[in-house]
């Protein structure tokens, strides 16, 4: 914090003028009067509460994000509209050059590698890294489309992209890139956990379900190993949340998508979700617990509605309401017991 070094005269007027957060301003005056806060502390806090010192960090981040989005969109459109005019080698070379420029900047500005958390050297770092890797991925996709290097095994280029993302995430300590790596690897296996695209399309639902469950289990295992081996332990949340989404989503999909053996899927869901909820307590992760209880609730709805699938009745709705009440009691009890990290 550099701003504590430039204290202004703190006016302990207690008067509530305009342009400020009045509750915090009056509290600072009182806390200064009671000697809870020192003069320098009160001066800094007062400046912020009165908006005489304003942070535009969020705005800078938003501009960078929008810039990367527009740039990659522009490159995509260029390739789509002018691939015949410009020629494949020029396009592939141009995108590669831009990607290399971004990644060289990243390498020159990056902090030394560590298995612990490494703070970004500046606010632009994450976005230039993102841009570089996205351009690399686009270039690879273009080369694959144009020169068909992998032939019928073309989806394997997603594996290459996913692995490069994974390496990038570890090298430059980026949880955002790790998230991209995990979703790209899922896409390679035909599973989308993207918010936009929905999940588990109908084609080959059985195979996709197995892919989702296996990949989810692998991600959860990676989360556990990250913590146990103390290798980027702060990646645990990204690994585990992506893994649980795939694992529990795959099991719920099995419960609702299977006609004959949905009971087996439900039993598996209850066991896995119960385990997740139980483990969320020592880990202090409320999001894991939330995913577990939602999956259980949704899965049990099939059990409640199945006997009534051929006639309309209010009873399953009533039972679903009672089940929801039970879940609510469990949530309140869990919140009281869990010590969140």
Partner 1 sequence: MRPDSVAWERAAEVRAAAQGWRRVGAIDASTEQAIREAYPDPCITPSAVWRVLTACMVAAVVACTFGALSLAFRPDRAGLQVLMFMFAAVSLVATEVLEALPQCARRGAAGATSLLGVVFLLVGFSLFLLETLNMRFDDAIDTALLASVLAWAVSAWRWGSPPYAAAAAISLFLFLGRLPHGRVLWALVGVALAGLAARRLDEASWAPSHRRGAAILVVAGILAVYAAVNVYSFDEHLLEDLGRFGAARVAPSPSLIVVSALATAVVPLLVLMWGVRSRRTFVLDTGVVLLALSLVTLRHYVHLAPLWVILALSGAALVALALTVERALRGAPGGEIAGVTADPLFADERQQRAFQIVPVVAAFTAPVAAPEEKGFAGGSGRFGGGGAEEKF
CB of 261 to partner 1, least distance (A): 25
Span interacting with partner 1, options 183-191, 223-231, 259-267, 270-278, rule CB under 8 A: 183-191
Residues 111/91, Cβ–Cβ less than 8 Å: no
Cβ contact 37:30 at 8 Å: no
Determine if 34 is a binding residue for partner 1 (CB under 8 A). yes
Query: Binding-site residue total for partner 1 (CB under 8 A)?
Result: 126
110 Cβ partners below 8 Å, 6+ apart? 121, 125, 171, 172
Near partner 1 in 212-241, by CB under 8 A: 237-238
**CA dist., res. 302 & res. 269, Å (int):** 12
The single residue listed with the structure tokens 């301003």 is 25
Query: Per CB under 8 A, does 290 bind partner 1?
Result: yes
271 near partner 1, judged by CB under 8 A: no
Binds partner 1 by CB under 8 A, chosen from 163, 258, 297, 303: 297
Q: Which residues contact 170 (CB under 8 A, 6 or more apart)?
A: 178, 232
Give the torsion through C-alpha atoms of 328, 334, 336, 338, to 10 deg: -150
Residue 202 binds partner 1, judged by CB under 8 A: no
Range 306-335, binding partner 1 (CB under 8 A): 312-315, 317-318, 320-321, 324-325, 327-328, 331-332, 335
Of 175-183, 216-224, 259-267, 268-276, the segment contacting partner 1 by CB under 8 A is: 175-183
21 part of the interface to partner 1, by CB under 8 A: yes
Does 114 interact with partner 1 (rule: CB under 8 A)? Answer: no
Smallest distance, partner 1 to C-beta of residue 1, A: 6
State yes or no: residue 137 binds partner 1 (CB under 8 A): yes
Nearer to partner 1, 59 or 264 (CB): 59
Which region among 38-46, 212-220, 250-258, 259-267 touches partner 1 (by CB under 8 A)? 38-46
Instruction: For the beta carbon of residue 251, count every other beta carbon within 10 angstroms.
Output: 24
For position 260 contacting partner 1 by CB under 8 A, the verdict is no
Q: Are 228 and 259 in contact (CB under 8 A)?
A: no
145 scored as a contact of partner 1 (CB under 8 A)? yes
CA neighbor of 49 nearest in space, from 63, 64, 32: 32
- The answer to whether the CB of 269 falls within 8 A of the CB of 297 is no
Given 43, 184, 226, 253, the residue binding partner 1 (CB under 8 A)? 184
Cα–Cα distances in angstroms (integers) from residue 266 to residues 220, 252, 292, in the given order:
20, 8, 13
For partner 1, which residue of 11, 287, 306, 307 counts as binding (CB under 8 A)? 287
CB of 269 to partner 1, least distance (A): 18
Does position 180 interact with partner 1 (CB under 8 A)? The reply is yes
State the binding string over 70-89 for partner 1 (x if CB under 8 A, else -).
Answer: xxxxxxxxxxxxxx------
Based on the shown chain and the rule CB under 8 A, indicate whether residue 33 belongs to the binding site for partner 1.
Answer: no
Q: With beta carbons less than 8 A apart as the criterion, state whether 186 and 216 touch.
A: no
Our finding on whether 48 is near partner 1 (CB under 8 A) is yes
- Using the minimum distance from each CB to partner 1, give the nearer residue, 107 or 264: 107
| Using rule CB under 8 A, residue 149 touches partner 1 | no
- CA gap 86, 98 in Å, rounded: 16
Q: How far is CA 171 from CA 103, 158, 167, 300, in A?
A: 12, 20, 6, 43
How far apart (Å, rounded) are the C-alpha atoms in residues 211 and 82?
Answer: 37
């Amino acid at each position: 914090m550099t701003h504590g070094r430039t204290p202004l005269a703190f006016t302990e007027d207690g008067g509530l003028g305009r342009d400020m957060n009045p509750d915090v301003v009056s509290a600072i005056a009182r806390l200064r009067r009671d000697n809870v806060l020192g003069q320098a502390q009160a001066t800094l806090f007062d400046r912020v509460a009165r908006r005489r010192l304003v942070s535009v960090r969020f705005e800078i981040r938003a501009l960078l994000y929008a810039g990367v989005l527009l740039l990659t969109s522009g490159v995509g459109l260029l390739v789509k509209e002018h691939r015949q005019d410009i020629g494949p080698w020029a396009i592939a070379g141009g995108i590669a050059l831009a990607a290399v420029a971004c990644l060289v900047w990243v390498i020159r500005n990056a902090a030394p590698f560590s298995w612990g958390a490494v703070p970004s050297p500046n606010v632009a770092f994450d976005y230039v890294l993102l841009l570089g890797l996205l351009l690399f991925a686009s270039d690879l996709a273009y080369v694959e489309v144009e020169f068909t290097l992998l032939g019928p095994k073309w989806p394997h280029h997603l594996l290459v992209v996913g692995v490069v993302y994974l390496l990038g995430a570890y090298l430059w300590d980026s949880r955002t890139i790790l998230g991209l790596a995990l979703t790209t690897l899922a896409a390679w296996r035909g599973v989308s956990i993207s918010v936009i695209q929905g999940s588990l399309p109908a084609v080959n639902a059985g195979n996709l379900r197995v892919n989702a469950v296996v990949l989810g289990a692998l991600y959860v295992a990676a989360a556990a190993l990250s913590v146990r081996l103390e290798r980027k332990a702060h990646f645990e949340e990204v690994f585990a949340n992506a893994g649980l989404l795939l694992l529990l989503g795959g099991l719920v999909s099995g419960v609702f998508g299977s006609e004959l053996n949905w009971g087996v899927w439900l039993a598996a869901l209850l066991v896995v979700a119960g385990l997740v909820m139980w483990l969320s307590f020592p880990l202090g992760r409320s999001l894991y617990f939330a995913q577990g209880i939602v999956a259980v609730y949704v899965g049990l709805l099939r059990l409640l509605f199945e006997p009534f699938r051929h006639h309309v009745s209010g009873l399953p709705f009533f039972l679903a309401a009672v089940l929801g009440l039970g879940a609510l009691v469990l949530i309140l009890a869990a919140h009281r017991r869990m010590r969140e990290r």
